[in-house]
Chains A and B, each alone.
Chain A
Amino acid sequence: MSRPAAILLVLLAGSAYLLVLGPILIVVASAFSAADFFGFPPSGLSLRWFTSFFATPELRAAFALSLELALVAASTATVCGGLAAYVLARRQGWLASLAQGLFLAPLVFPTIVLGLALLLFYRAIGGVPLFLGLLIAHTVIGSPFAVRAVLASLQALDPRLEEAGRSLGAGPWRSFRLVTLPLIWPGLLSGWTFAFIVSFGELNTALFLTGPGTTTLPIEIFSYLQFQGGQLVIAAASALQVGLILVVVLVVERLVGLTRILRA
């Protein structure tokens, strides 16, 4: 590559990273500000916004709800997507690929349409409790991540291992538990992690499905920003969310490795 071309490439890539990471870094940095507003030059460090975050009941409740919802939804999505992937992994033909397309569809489907559709559907069937309504939406959205991760694990798995288990006298359930499960659990874990993270930050269906007293943290942040301006307590809320995701990613990196996170 010629020298000017190389310099241009590095400049473009550098600005891409700056544009992608800069806004997040600024939000996290401003959460530690001592002043009432984010200013330049920065005016000292403090944790006062985190204190006021936990002292604000509706923010604390939204954080707790988001965490609870993400934990449950990631688990239901992993069961749902894992079962589908387990059955579909070694099947061919148009029915199997149609089913696979259905389970992967929420990945590219405009989620705002799904949110509205579920809202109307819940009303038509006589109402659904808010938490359950959100859980269903997040399970639909999270399942494809589990499907993809488990499919990848199963395709890398040598079917002869299961056959060996069966021929040595293990029943289907025993050979699944002793042979297949230990081999695909990293896939299950990375699918779970993605479903968790997606649910924890999800906006488009939650926009329609949250209600008074049952609001997720991203929606609470959104309504603060929309109606009360960018108070720094919202920066603290955002920093907490970023921190939690960072912890989850690092734990998964330790458990199953970097390449698997990237492949899922």
Chain B
Amino acid sequence: MVPRVVARKYAAFALLLPPLAFFLVFFVCPLGYLFFVSLHAPSESELYGARLTLANYGAILGDGFYLAIIRRTLLLAAAILALALVLGYATAYLIALLPQRLRLWLLLLLFFPLMVSNVIRAYGWIAILGRRGLVNALLGWLGLSAAPLPLLYGFSAVTLGLMTILLPYMIVSIVNALAAIDRQYEEAARSLGAGPWRTFFRVTLPLSSPGVASGMLLVFLLTLSAYVTVTLLGGPRTKILVSLVYDATTSFEWPRAAALAFVLLVLALAVSAPVFLLRRPDRAELPR
């Protein structure tokens, strides 16, 4: 007879097998295949040509147009991160001061927008900033401007819209970190003679840094794939890396699209790996 412990171990693996197989076949394999496609020359009739080559990556990294788009992508992410950090930290700081019940309701009010599809939230910004949008209607009604202002379709519309779409992630991450801080640290700093600003910058901010780091990481990663928001608010001329991935697929340049997707993935990894490695969420250290 098989010992019971061994039987239980096999039973556990039998239960793990279906989800594991599913993820290996439909998550890991497609990514491997995507990389494989990115290493081939394009073909007129097939998904990719027969020849193995690094030319797709060379064409992206050696082309001023692609590099400018990558720079713009990073610039957009930086602008969104800076705005979301200031607004998000202030909001989170206030929420963390409130009593438990109220805090939960305010957080739910932030969770709800995250559940609404991004296309609807981008549509909301079109309704506000568009030619017939709220701002222009209001200005016209007040008689402040004769012609509608072109507020939509540009870098700033994308920055504002995408920042507000992703802001709740930042706030929630920081609230979680702030709520976990033992208030006695701050009281100790104050009683040792530190002023409110010094206490904030030397105690509260460093202790909440894991929340800030994970919020910023999440916002950065979601900015990288926000094709629909960027397209709707930026118009055809404000393109970022993800727009090029999609454009390459609509013109059936599969190896080029695959290579662009991998450049995007490397960008995501390059930023997230150090954050994952450096962050020690359970051991935020006090500064000396």
- The interface of chain A, by Cβ under 8 A from chain B, is 1-2, 5, 8-10, 12-13, 15-17, 19-27, 30, 37-41, 80-81, 83-84, 86-88, 91, 99, 102-103, 105-106, 108, 110-114, 116-121, 123-124, 136-137, 139-140, 143, 172, 197, 200-204, 207-208, 218, 221-222, 225-226, 230, 234-235, 238, 241-242, 245-246, 249, 258-259, 261-262
Contacts and interface: CB of A to CB of B under 8 A. Distances in A.
A105 B221 CA distance: 12
Nearest to A222: B119
A118 B30 contact: yes
Contact of A116 (B27, B93, B196, B261): B261
Given A12-B91, A110-B265, A117 B107 contact: no
B31 interface: yes
Given A116-B258, A201-B117, A136 B26 contact: yes
B238 interface: no
Identify which of A24, A26, A113, A218 gathers the most chain B CB atoms within 10 Å of its CB. Answer: A113
Interface of B: 8, 11-13, 15-16, 18-20, 22-23, 26-31, 33-34, 37, 47, 86-88, 90-91, 93-95, 104-105, 107-113, 115-128, 130, 132-134, 137-138, 141, 160-161, 163-164, 167-168, 171, 196, 217-218, 221, 224-225, 227-228, 231-232, 242, 245-246, 249, 254, 257-258, 261-262, 264-265, 268, 272
11 contacts: A5-B196, A27-B120, A40-B134, A80-B19, A105-B27, A120-B34, A230-B126, A230-B132, A241-B120, A258-B105, A259-B104
A81 B110 CA distance: 25
Contact of B232 (A2, A87, A225): A225
B114 to A, nearest CB: 9
A9 B15 contact: no
Contacts of A208: 249
Given A102-B28, A201-B118, A203-B118, 9 more contacts: A9-B94, A24-B124, A26-B128, A40-B134, A41-B141, A113-B265, A117-B30, A221-B119, A241-B116
Contacts, number: 248
Contacts of A83: 15-16, 18-19
Contacts of A22: 124, 128
B90 A9 contact: yes
B23 A262 contact: no
A262 B18 contact: no
Given A13-B94, A246-B112, A207 B16 contact: no
Q: Secondary structure of the A side of the interface?
A: helix
B151 to A, nearest CB: 14
A116 B126 contact: no
A226 B231 contact: yes
B91 A17 contact: yes
Contact of A38 (B107, B127, B164): B127
B124 A242 contact: no
Contacts of B138: 40
Contacts of A10: 94
A20 B113 contact: yes
Nearest to A23: B124
Nearest to B121: A23
Contacts of B108: 249, 258, 261-262
A184 B224 CA distance: 35
A114 B128 CA distance: 32
A121 B30 contact: yes
B5 to A, nearest CB: 13
A96 to B, nearest CB: 10
Contact of B87 (A15, A81, A87): A15
A262 B26 contact: no
B223 to A, nearest CB: 10
A262 B45 CA distance: 50
Nearest to B86: A12
